[in-house]
Amino acid sequence: MRPVLRSVSIRLAFAPLAAIATFAACSYTSYTPPSRMMPLETALAPAPNHTDLQAEGSMAGAVMGFGTWNGALRLREGLDDNVAVTAEGGVMNVDGHAAAGTEHNAYMGRIGVHLHQRDRTEGPHVALTAGVGGGWSALAGRWVTQDVAVIVSGNGAWVVPFASLEGFASQPIDPQLFQYRTGESSTPRTDVLTRTAGFRVTAGLEFRDGSGIDSRASFLIGMMMGGIEKPDDGDMFMGLGAALRLSW
């Protein structure tokens, strides 16, 4: 199995990219994932003493290779006019080749902070986020992560565009050897997680219920592109995601 973790390694559901993958040689390696696979987040956050809960799903990965399907829950609480805190947990399912009974899931968690402008009416808005987290895979071991991002977004009653640039770094804390098979090969390969760093750019739209900043429910969609590196290898990746956010 190309484990947990070509951490971002999905056979994307785009016909042109699938065609490229058909004719190109696949490269196989593993990456230590970040603590969240595709965050869909605007520059606005809950007001003081308000909360929102977001459920999101995504698929993400390199043009060639195996893939991940991801889900997460994110809870945010407004502390004051400029600061909100975040707690989230997620699961990543790796589409790979492995012996029957091999665990394909990895589990992740993160705590973070969202720093934003006091003005919640005019746009555009800018915010900074930062977080620490970690993950666990029965196949590949445990790891810790750090991330920092800048987000820009508009404001409106019904539709809000947003974009973010994030950098992340991940470090195994008890890496263990694991095996996986490449393509149709019957010969297993052995690998181990190593330190990994990357970046991603995400752009999307938030659809509100018509109440603007006071919307109680919104739906978000987005696309992601980025790069991931370890000491002896690297890849570009892409992703698609959607989320439902409820606020109170």
Max CA separation in the chain (angstroms): 59
Residue 83 placed within a domain: yes
Mean pLDDT value of segment 29-49 = 90
Q: Strand, helix or coil at 45?
A: coil
Nearest to 125 by CA among 212, 40, 43, 211: 43
Span 183-240, pLDDT tens digits: 555 677 777 889 999 999 999 999 999 888 889 999 999 999 999 899 988 888 999 9
Span 110-124, pLDDT tens digits: 999 999 988 777 778
Span 137-147, pLDDT tens digits: 888 889 999 99
Number of domains in the chain: 1
Q: What is the CATH number of the domain that holds 218?
A: 2.40.128
Residue 210 placed within a domain: yes
Residue 4 placed within a domain: no
Residue 8 placed within a domain: no
Side-chain-side CA neighbours of residue 83 (13 Å) = 6
- The phi, psi pair for 37, rounded to 5°, reads -85, -40
Report pLDDT for 242: 98
What residues does 93 pair with on adjacent strands?
69, 105
For residue 13, is pLDDT > 60? Answer: no
Domain hosting 163: range is 15-247
